[in-house]
Amino acid sequence: MAGNGKTIFNLILSGNIPSHKIYEDEFVYAFLDINPLSRGHTLVIPKEESRTMDSLSEDSAAELGRVLPKICRAIMKITGANDYNLVQNNGENAGQTVPHLHFHIIPKYPQSNHSFIWEPKPIDHSDATELSRAILEELG
């Protein structure tokens, strides 16, 4: 796997650095973010060492996908938040600071003022036709 055994998250997984654990099974670990954007901000990580989503094994991906909804449900229930963002950064240029794949679950309360910069532009249909065809072909 494309991993990096020296990340801070490996030290958390091995128990060498403490964390506020909220969930653990054979494949997945979840804990509160040390610098939360809001109360209950959680990180969900595979135990497998993988920097980014594209290098994660199908087995780990399946296990992550299986437990994410129930972790979201528990956080919403306990914090009382009705809304949340699920954020996952891949690569430094995309804002990833810890090179061990992780999902952020970030509750959004009525009084929350954190935001994510999002500046959409209309799609270029000519490029989109070519792009979608190429990706479809790649995925077989």
By annotation, the residues acting in catalysis are 102
Burial label for 75, CB within 10 Å (0-12, 13-18, 19+), is buried
Q: Which is nearer to ligand 5GP, 65 or 95 (CB)?
A: 95
Strand, coil or helix: 26: coil
Stretch that binds ligand 5GP, among 57-65, 78-86, 88-96, 119-127 (CB under 6 A): 88-96
Is 90 one of the binding residues for ligand 5GP (CB under 6 A)?
A: no
Please list, residue by residue across 23-56, b when 16 or more beta carbons sit within 10 angstroms of its beta carbon and e when fewer do. Answer: eeeebbbbbebeeebbebbbbbbbbbbbbbeeeb
Q: Which is nearer to ligand 5GP, 21 or 133 (CB)?
A: 21
* Phi, psi of 66, deg, nearest 5: -65, -40
Q: For the window 6-35, what string marks contact with ligand 5GP as x by the rule CB under 6 A?
A: --x--------x-x-----------xxxxx
d(CA 85, CA 83): 7
Q: Which is nearer to ligand 5GP, 16 or 126 (CB)?
A: 16
Which residues lie near ligand 5GP (CB under 6 A)?
8, 17, 19, 31-35, 43, 89, 95-98
